[in-house]
Amino acid sequence: MVEITHRTVSSNNIRIHLAEAGEGPTVLMIHGFPESWYSWREQLPVLAEQGYHAVAMDVRGYGRSSKPQNVEDYRMMLKVADVVGVVDAIDNGKVTIVGHDWGAPIAWNSALLRPDLFSGVAGLSVPYSAGGGVVRPTELFAMMAGDDDFYINHFQEVGKAEREIEADVRQWILGFYWGAGGDVIDGPNISMVRRGGTLSEKFVYPDVMPDWMTDKDLDVYTREFEYSGFFGPLSRYRNVDRDWEDFSAFAGQPIAIPSLFIGGEKDGPTIWGASAIANYNQTLPKLFKSEILPGAGHWIQQERAERTNELLLEFLNSLK
C-alpha cells in the first residue's frame, strides 16, 4: 500500500495543505468545487507507484488550507500565486500541473503566466479558452439563462447559497455530485436555477451509491465542508468578473508548454466548451492529446479513474 502523507506549507502568505505520495518528478493536482485533495484519491497511489511525486493540494478556502475573509481574496491571480508558492515550497524542479473543474483554470492560468515552472499542464472537464470577450461573464451567463439564473450567478450573493448548502451539507453535496455525474440519464439541468429558487430543488438522488462515490467517500467530503464552510469555495465564482478584468491583457494568449485535455461526454463545461476545444490548434500548440470519455459526467478522475490514470501516465511519460 502506498502511504499518503500530509503537511502544510507556507505559500503566498497563507497556509496550503498538501497530500503527498511517492518520489520522483512532481505532479501537482488541483481540485475544483465542491471537492478537496481527496478527489485525487485514485490518482495519488497510482502515480506514486509509477515513479512520481504525486501531490494534491487543498485550494485556499478548503479543508486545512487558510480561509481568507474577503471575496476578492479568491480571485484567480491569487490562486495562481498560491500554486507558485507551493511549487517553490516543494522545491523539486519543474512540475507537471493537473487541474479539474475550477482547478483546471487554475492550472491553465498557472501554465500561461509561469511556463518556466512547469513541464506540462493537464486540464480535466474545463477546456482552456484563452479568455477575452467584450461582455462580462456574469452578463453573459444572464443572457444564457433567460428567465432563470445560471448557477454561477446564483452563487454571487454572499450568504444565500451558503445557507442553502449548510442546512444539510451531506445531502446537498450528494445531490450536486449525482446531478452532474454521468450516471444520471436525462436528469434535470442543475446548471439553471429557478429565479428566486434554490439549486437543490432540481436534485435527484441515487437509489444505490455508485462505485466511484461510496458512502465513505461522501462522509469524507461532508466532514471537510462541515469544517471549512462554503464561503471560500463559493467566492471563487464571485470573482469571475474580476478575473475577466485581471486577465484582459492575456486574452488570446496560447499556452506554450505541452498540454493534455480530458473531458466527459456528458459533462456540462466540456459540452459548453466545444468551440474552445475546436480551437486547440491555436491555443494549445503543444497539445499531446484531447480525449472525451464516453458516458462520463463531470467528476472525471473519480468516475473514470482508470482511463484518467492511463492518460495522465501517457502524458507524463511523454515529458521525460
Q: What is the pLDDT of residue 36?
A: 97
Which CATH number fits the domain that encloses residue 27? 3.40.50.1820
The pLDDT of residue 131 is 85
* Residues acting as catalytic residues: 101, 298
**How far is Cα 133 from Cα 252, in angstroms, rounded to an integer?**
10
Output the pLDDT for position 190. 93
Nearest to 304 by CA among 64, 77, 42, 116: 42
pLDDT at residue 24, as a whole number? 97
What is the Cβ-side half-sphere exposure of residue 172, based on CA atoms within 13 angstroms?
20
Q: Using an 8 Å Cβ cutoff, are 295 and 267 in contact?
A: no
- Give CA–CA dist 177/164, Å, rounded: 16
Tell me whether strands 14-21 and 53-57 are parallel, antiparallel or unpaired.
antiparallel
Beta-carbon contacts of residue 279 (< 8 Å; ≥ 6 apart): 130
H or E element that contains 287:
strand 287-293
**Which residues are within 8 A (CB) of 226 and not within 5 positions of it... i.e. 6 or more apart?**
169
Distance CA 120, CA 101 (A): 18
How many CB atoms are closer than 10 A to CB 240?
20
- Regions in the chain scoring below 70 on pLDDT: none
Whether 180 and 190 have beta carbons less than 8 Å apart is answered as yes
The DSSP result for 6-19, as a single string, is EEEEEETTEEEEEE
pLDDT at 66: 98
Range of the domain at 119: 5-318
pLDDT at residue 58, rounded to an integer? 98
Q: What per-residue confidence (pLDDT) applies to 139?
A: 96
Number of domains in the chain: 1
Query: Among candidates 43, 52, 65, 129, which has minimal Cα distance to 93?
Result: 52
DSSP state of 284: -
